[in-house]
A and B are shown apart, each in its own frame.
Chain A
Amino acid sequence: MVTLIPLALRAMAVYIFGATGDTIIEKGGHLNMGVPGIMFIGALGAIVGESLYANNIPADQINVVLAIIVPMIFAMIFAGLAGLLYCFLTVTLKCNQNVVGLSLTTFGVGFSRYFIAIFAEMADSNIPVAGDMIQHLFPNYAQAGAFGEMFLSGSFFTYFSILLAILISILFVKTKVGLNLRAVGENPASADAAGINVTAYRYIATIIGSMVVGIGGLTYVLDLKSGSFAATNDVDAFGWLCLSIVILSAWRSWITIPVSFAIGLLDRLPAALGLGAGPLGQFIGILPYIATIVVLIISSAISSKKMQPPAGLGQNYFREDR
């Protein structure tokens, strides 16, 4: 148990960022199947940023804060650009959302994998110093005994992800911007009639949501994989699961916290139990998807307003169609 929880927490952070970012995008009405690709592009950005920083500053002058901020900025820029591309194609060029999303994933995953593999071969495939520093936010966590071992050993990203998810939830419920975005996602026609700039909201929501997803990619590389570039090879699997998590959390980002934690646990469980080789270990991997299917069925069966996706999800809005 003691070993499982810290690992689960690291995976959880990746999921929370991905799911929260995707929630923002989906609340605006976009079913963005490009999220796996965007997460990968964010990871690539993080690797580029990290390499630039750590390779150009002598080891003893490395500043932990900068070692986090520089890759984060790069990850956000890269992922934001990908989100911008998605938006341009779907909002301005009116292309089908599913198609653009899938294309973006196909392209993004291939593109990112290609360059990450090059970086992995170039550099020493790991930036030891910067990676080390990022691992633990509270360096003295061990002094809090087992509790500290389990819950306080997380990195900056672990706690930041939780904070962000809560903030975003508040944003959607309490602020005008959040409510406007929800209106855009539910019924863009009425929102437009009420004077809300649907286009602008969709663009901004997608770009910001993509940036958050990109931070998930960054967390994957720097935290989950301890900064190892060569190990960054299945970011997209996490991305697809994030789409699931958004459904399981009923499009509320604070719920992504417990859901992501549960999935992070399930994820790490087979290896920690030594079940890796057997059918049982493989089978455990099915559970998150089965859970998602069950939730999909139940939520559509009971038609509860609380668990529904935004009504306008997946539909492009074209004013002249009204």
Chain B
Amino acid sequence: MKPAKINFPFRIAKRANITNTKAWIIRGISIVAALLVSGIVCTLFKPGSFLDFYKGLVVGCFGTTNYIFELLCCISIFLLLSIAVTPAFKMKFWNIGVEGQAMIGCILTAVILLLMPSAIPGPLVIIIALLASVTGGMIWAIIPTIFKIRFNTNETLFTLMMNYVATILAAVTIAIVSPGGSQTFPLITDPSRLLINIGTIKYIPFIIVTILFTVMMYFYLRKTKEGFELSVMGDSINTARYVGIKPHWIMFRTMLISGGLAGLCGFLIVCGKEATLSKTLVGGRGFTAVLIAWLGHFNPAEITIFASLVGILEQGATYTAGLIKISSKKYFSGVIIGLFILIVIVSEFFVNYQVRFKSKNKLISNNKPKEAK
């Protein structure tokens, strides 16, 4: 029994090209639409709260200096992870393992910062933690890569599994290190081993490092030979080989960068923000980062915009949830962000494809029943 052919009344055609302005107008509309829909959803959850949603967004993100720096740090985590993902995705290597690679960085940093003998000076401990995290992230990323190179093992699934292994390793580490079986990793309080505060302002190191690497990645992808090689590989592996690029070496090198950046992010999360270790330290932001990188077309400038939007939604929506006293507050931002991303994804369709309505004659003539086979 064959399923019948469904006749849509319109035709979908891929656009040959589209002006940048037009594309951004479409995207801009979708972003505004997404924000409007979020407000409507909020009203559905708690009637009468439409305006409060936006008030919460603004106040929760910009209300005090503290909030602003928290926001910048929140954005930085998304941004740095998205930047980590970018080179890999640009050559169509689906590294969704940044979550795990960052977590490895977190584990190594936390253990080193906590357990290094106090005789070793603070700055040295920090440097050791940094090097260890970057290396750890690299190793975590290279393992799936090696098998991809050798056996063409599916990297999407492999990197996904590595995420869970990393999370469980975090749990095991906490179980081993936590005093008296309390399952809580102690808070690292030695200020010489932390990079959180400069005076009373928090998170500056995190933010600065993120901006630095974002700019560096921009230049790397746009202005260097290696960046060019990546784009070629992303378009077609055969073309790349023809031009003399060695795909396997590029894959290897790129994943080192990707994993290293993710490990760096893990280091910053512990040393520059949390000062402890827990299973939920990365908290799924690695996955969101993949989505942000994709939405930003793997262009660091665009990624910054989307990371900022997601950060504002994350912090703002949570603040709103507290403001209007929604029940089950901790899941509210997840709903809003998920919705936002879905709507913007739909807009991508309209950027890439044109929808033309079929004329009435064509509809009628296409409606012949198919012969059964």
Chain B 310-338 per-residue mask, 1 if CB under 8 angstroms from chain A, else 0: 00000000000000000110011111011
- CA of A118 to CA of B328, assembled, Å: 7
Known: A102-B291, A107-B334, A110-B338. A292 touches B349 (CB 8 A): no
Known: A96-B294, A200-B6, A282-B172. A113 touches B328 (CB 8 A): yes
A190 at the interface (CB under 8 A from B): no
Known: A240-B164, A297-B151. A110 touches B331 (CB 8 A): yes
Q: Which one of A10-18, A87-95, A144-152, A163-171 contacts B?
A: A87-95
- CA of A33 to CA of B154, assembled, Å: 14
Central interface residue in A92, A93, A282, by most chain B CB within 10 Å: A282
Contacts of B164 in A (CB 8 A): 240, 286, 289
Within the complex, which residue of A33, A92, A96, A106 is in contact with B338, where a contact is CB–CB below 8 Å?
A106
Within the complex, which residue of A109, A199, A204, A281 is in contact with B334, where a contact is CB–CB below 8 Å?
A109
Known: A94-B352, A102-B290, A200-B4. A89 touches B94 (CB 8 A): no
User: In the complex, what's the smallest C-beta–C-beta distance from A58 to chain B, in angstroms?
Assistant: 29
Known: A93-B349, A95-B345, A300-B147. A114 touches B3 (CB 8 A): no
- CA of A292 to CA of B156, assembled, Å: 13
- CA of A318 to CA of B12, assembled, Å: 10
User: In the complex, what's the smallest C-beta–C-beta distance from B20 to chain A, in angstroms?
Assistant: 21
Q: Across the interface, do A282 and B162 meet the contact criterion of CB distance under 8 Å?
A: no
Contacts of A274 in B (CB 8 A): none
Known: A106-B341, A114-B331, A296-B158. A279 touches B165 (CB 8 A): no
In residues 81-124 of chain A, which contact B (Cβ within 8 Å)?
Answer: 89, 92-96, 98-100, 102-111, 113-114, 117-118, 121
Known: A99-B294, A247-B157. A121 touches B348 (CB 8 A): no
Q: Across the interface, do B338 and A107 meet the contact criterion of CB distance under 8 Å?
A: yes
Contacts of B151 in A (CB 8 A): 297, 300-301, 303
Contacts of A247 in B (CB 8 A): 157
- CA of A61 to CA of B121, assembled, Å: 74
Contacts of B345 in A (CB 8 A): 89, 93, 95, 99-100, 103
Contacts of B127 in A (CB 8 A): none
Q: Across the interface, do B287 and A277 meet the contact criterion of CB distance under 8 Å?
A: no
Q: Across the interface, do A177 and B175 meet the contact criterion of CB distance under 8 Å?
A: no
A60 at the interface (CB under 8 A from B): no
User: In the complex, what's the smallest C-beta–C-beta distance from B35 to chain A, in angstroms?
Assistant: 16
Contacts of A240 in B (CB 8 A): 160, 164
- CA of A96 to CA of B338, assembled, Å: 16
Chain A 242-254 per-residue mask, 1 if CB under 8 angstroms from chain B, else 0: 0110010000000
B363 at the interface (CB under 8 A from A): no
Within the complex, which residue of B150, B165, B327, B349 is in contact with A118, where a contact is CB–CB below 8 Å?
B327
User: In the complex, what's the smallest C-beta–C-beta distance from B317 to chain A, in angstroms?
Assistant: 10
In the complex, number of A-B residue pairs with CB atoms less than 8 Å apart: 162
| Number of residues from A at the complex interface, CB < 8 A | 60
In residues 170-184 of chain B, which contact A (Cβ within 8 Å)?
Answer: 171-172, 175-176, 181, 183
- CA of A99 to CA of B338, assembled, Å: 11
Contacts of B158 in A (CB 8 A): 293, 296
Known: A111-B335, A118-B327. A309 touches B154 (CB 8 A): yes
B241 at the interface (CB under 8 A from A): no
Chain A 288-317 per-residue mask, 1 if CB under 8 angstroms from chain B, else 0: 011011001100110100000100001000
User: In the complex, what's the smallest C-beta–C-beta distance from B31 to chain A, in angstroms?
Assistant: 15
Query: A290's closest neighbor in chain B, by CB?
Result: B165
Contacts of A113 in B (CB 8 A): 328, 331, 334
Q: Across the interface, do A93 and B346 meet the contact criterion of CB distance under 8 Å?
A: yes
- CA of A131 to CA of B352, assembled, Å: 49
- CA of A108 to CA of B168, assembled, Å: 24
Contacts of B14 in A (CB 8 A): 318, 320
Contacts of B341 in A (CB 8 A): 103, 106-107
Q: Across the interface, do B332 and A102 meet the contact criterion of CB distance under 8 Å?
A: no
- CA of A99 to CA of B348, assembled, Å: 12
Contacts of B169 in A (CB 8 A): 286
Contacts of B349 in A (CB 8 A): 89, 93-95
Contacts of A140 in B (CB 8 A): none
Q: Across the interface, do B13 and A98 meet the contact criterion of CB distance under 8 Å?
A: no
Q: Across the interface, do A289 and B331 meet the contact criterion of CB distance under 8 Å?
A: no
Q: Across the interface, do A106 and B334 meet the contact criterion of CB distance under 8 Å?
A: yes
Contacts of A279 in B (CB 8 A): 172, 175-176
Q: Across the interface, do B373 and A195 meet the contact criterion of CB distance under 8 Å?
A: yes
Contacts of A96 in B (CB 8 A): 294
A31 at the interface (CB under 8 A from B): yes
Q: Across the interface, do B153 and A297 meet the contact criterion of CB distance under 8 Å?
A: yes
Q: Across the interface, do A297 and B342 meet the contact criterion of CB distance under 8 Å?
A: no
Chain A 191-208 per-residue mask, 1 if CB under 8 angstroms from chain B, else 0: 000011101110010000
Contacts of B332 in A (CB 8 A): 110, 114
Central interface residue in A285, A296, A301, by most chain B CB within 10 Å: A296
User: In the complex, what's the smallest C-beta–C-beta distance from A171 to chain B, in angstroms?
Assistant: 13
Within the complex, which residue of B12, B156, B328, B331 is in contact with A98, where a contact is CB–CB below 8 Å?
B156
User: In the complex, what's the smallest C-beta–C-beta distance from B368 to chain A, in angstroms?
Assistant: 15
Contacts of B171 in A (CB 8 A): 282, 285
Within the complex, which residue of A31, A106, A197, A286 is in contact with B291, where a contact is CB–CB below 8 Å?
A106
B1 at the interface (CB under 8 A from A): yes
User: In the complex, what's the smallest C-beta–C-beta distance from B318 to chain A, in angstroms?
Assistant: 12
User: In the complex, what's the smallest C-beta–C-beta distance from B342 to chain A, in angstroms?
Assistant: 5
Q: List 15 A-B contacts (CB under 8 A).
A: A93-B349, A94-B352, A103-B338, A103-B342, A106-B284, A106-B291, A110-B335, A117-B328, A277-B175, A277-B181, A279-B175, A279-B176, A286-B172, A289-B168, A300-B147
Chain B residues in the interface with A (C-beta under 8 A): 1-6, 12-14, 45, 94, 96, 147, 150-154, 156-158, 160-162, 164-165, 168-169, 171-172, 175-176, 181, 183, 284, 287-288, 290-291, 294, 327-328, 331-335, 337-339, 341-342, 345-346, 348-349, 352-353, 373
